[in-house]
Amino acid sequence: MLTNPLTKNIGPQNTAIDLAGYRAAGGYSGWRKALAGDPGDLVKMVQDAGLRGRGGAGFNTGLKWSFVPRGDDSPSIKYLVCNADEMEPGTFKDRLLMERDPHLLIEGMAIAAYAIEARTAYIFIRGEYHTATARLEKAIAEAREEGLLGENILGTGYSLEIHLHCSAGNYICGEETALLNALEGKRAVPRAKPPFPQVSGLWGKPTVVNNVETFCNIPHLIDLGVDWYKSLGRGEDAGTKLFGVSGKVKNPGTWELPMGTPIREIIEVHAGGMRDGLKLKGFLPGGGSTDFLGPEHLDLPMDYDAIGKSGSRMGTGTIIVLDDKTCPVGLVLNLTQFFARESCGWCTPCRDGLPWAVKILQRIENGEGRLEDIGLLQEQVRYMGPGNTFCALAPGAAEPIQSALKLFEQDFVEHIEKGCCPYL
């Protein structure tokens, strides 16, 4: 039984980068099966399989597709968009898929477009991903030349064009409506919801936006079935996931593992554990915009609900490890500087609140802080919390700050009382 659908073609030989190699490994069989079926049945199949979006939110993918209007009264033009603007700190999984198995993404997008009855699709890719861009351009051209894309695909009467669009490089484009504005040539700021993109998205037409890894799950799911896909997970969530670890571990990297794999296994077995002489102090479980968890959480399964109940989010599933010799104040300062720089400036709590938080953190890190600064930071993260901003950028940026203040409060106090960073 296939247990590594996302990475089965990824190895030292890179045999599936071109169409011939991808087909030799069974590529596009899912696409052929999809074209022989009913689009509505494909939507239900993906929904029943329990595939949750791999970009961070974890929403049921098939359910998201089902919100697209259907029937004679629905708009004739619909769009599919791939969010490949991977800019979350500590996240590097989508680049692996695009560089090493580009046709897997193309096939997944083609199936998804057919399922929602779209005939035009876009890949919105991070501008710095030059290798991935070149390989995707080649893959699209190869698929079109072989009749797998373009007009009257494989004689079925269905037509689809996939276009590649290079991002100008803003973190806010990870928010789907800001991405759509950027794709339209507008300023990359989030839109008010409702209406949601599935009803009124790109150029006012029904649009589905999914992440690279989400699309890459689709071909094998359609080819091998719902029961097979559900059997891959270890817990409530189905399928496999690309989990990553960065920080001072012996073997940082990315691995495809079953959903529900314990955090301890990911860090200690696959990442090799902490470097010699270092201890685990805490970790961000899903990229830079998630709450810190402590060593007591190592035995949690990496699935959306379990991590959510622990007080954090699984996010992109890429773990940032904090060791006992690295300053947590400095780490949080570094992250907050990034988020402050990437704010689109659309709403006050994010535009003004994040730079203010940077100033306070910088003051503490420099040994110039006051004890009341801790209260100021706590107040500031409340102002940037959910429901107070136009999108999720500021609430996400506040998560590592608020959790660090809880888990590592003594470190903040020592910075202030000693008048310097105690880790220097």
| Percentage of residues of the chain with pLDDT beyond 90 | 92
Nearest CA-CA partner of 111 in 156, 71, 174, 60: 156
pLDDT above 80 (res 13): no
Read off the pLDDT of residues 363-393 as tens digits, 9 standing for 90 and up: 999 999 999 999 999 999 999 999 899 999 9
Q: In the prediction, which pLDDT does 169 show? A: 78
Please identify, among 296, 323, 350, the residue that sits at the C-terminal boundary of a domain: 323
Domain co-membership, 218 together with 259: no
Q: In the prediction, which pLDDT does 150 show? A: 97
Read off the pLDDT of residues 200-235 as tens digits, 9 standing for 90 and up: 999 999 999 999 999 999 999 999 999 999 999 998
**Is 92 part of a structural domain of the chain?**
yes
Q: Work out the pLDDT band at 71, boundaries 50, 70, 90.
A: confident
Give the CATH number of the domain where residue 299 resides. 3.10.20.600
pLDDT above 80 (res 402): yes
Cα(172)–Cα(343) distance, integer angstroms: 7
Using only C-alpha atoms, what is the Rg of the chain? 22
Domain co-membership, 32 together with 137: yes
Read off the pLDDT of residues 264-299 as tens digits, 9 standing for 90 and up: 999 999 999 999 999 999 999 999 999 999 999 999
Domain co-membership, 215 together with 290: no
Give the CATH number of the domain where residue 396 resides. 1.20.1440.230
pLDDT above 90 (res 73): no
Domain co-membership, 361 together with 255: no
Please identify, among 273, 294, 323, the residue that sits at the C-terminal boundary of a domain: 323
Residue position matching structure tokens 């494909």 = 42
Domain co-membership, 218 together with 245: no
Q: How many residues does the chain have?
A: 424
Q: In the prediction, which pLDDT does 1 show? A: 79
Domain co-membership, 78 together with 198: yes
Give the CATH number of the domain where residue 60 resides. 3.40.50.11540
**Is 423 part of a structural domain of the chain?**
no
**Is 399 part of a structural domain of the chain?**
yes
Q: Work out the pLDDT band at 56, boundaries 50, 70, 90.
A: confident
This prediction has a pTM of 0.95
Domain co-membership, 87 together with 223: yes
Give, to the nearest 10 degrees, the angle between helix 353-365 and helix 372-383: 160
Domain co-membership, 96 together with 25: yes
Amino acid at residue number 404: A
Give the number of domains in the chain.
Answer: 3
Read off the pLDDT of residues 321-359 as tens digits, 9 standing for 90 and up: 999 999 999 999 999 999 999 999 889 999 999 999 999
Q: In the prediction, which pLDDT does 55 show? A: 87
**Is 40 part of a structural domain of the chain?**
yes
**Is 296 part of a structural domain of the chain?**
yes
- With the CA atoms of 48, 53, 58 and 61 taken in that order, what torsion angle do they form, in degrees rounded to the nearest 10? -30
Domain co-membership, 73 together with 195: yes
- Cα–Cα distances (Å) from 260 to 96, 113, 155, in that order, read 21, 29, 41
Please identify, among 265, 294, 323, the residue that sits at the C-terminal boundary of a domain: 323
Amino acid at residue number 200: S
Q: In the prediction, which pLDDT does 168 show? A: 82
Average pLDDT across the chain, whole number: 95
Domain co-membership, 259 together with 130: no
**Is 10 part of a structural domain of the chain?**
no
Cα(244)–Cα(303) distance, integer angstroms: 14
Contacts of 20 by beta carbon, 8 Å cutoff, 6+ apart: none
Supply the range of the domain harboring residue 129: 19-231
Domain co-membership, 315 together with 249: yes
**Is 307 part of a structural domain of the chain?**
yes
Read off the pLDDT of residues 115-165 as tens digits, 9 standing for 90 and up: 999 999 999 999 999 999 999 999 999 999 999 999 999 999 999 999 999
**Is 149 part of a structural domain of the chain?**
yes
Q: In the prediction, which pLDDT does 278 show? A: 98
Domain co-membership, 319 together with 338: no
Q: What is the mean pLDDT of residues 101-112?
A: 98
Q: In the prediction, which pLDDT does 235 show? A: 85
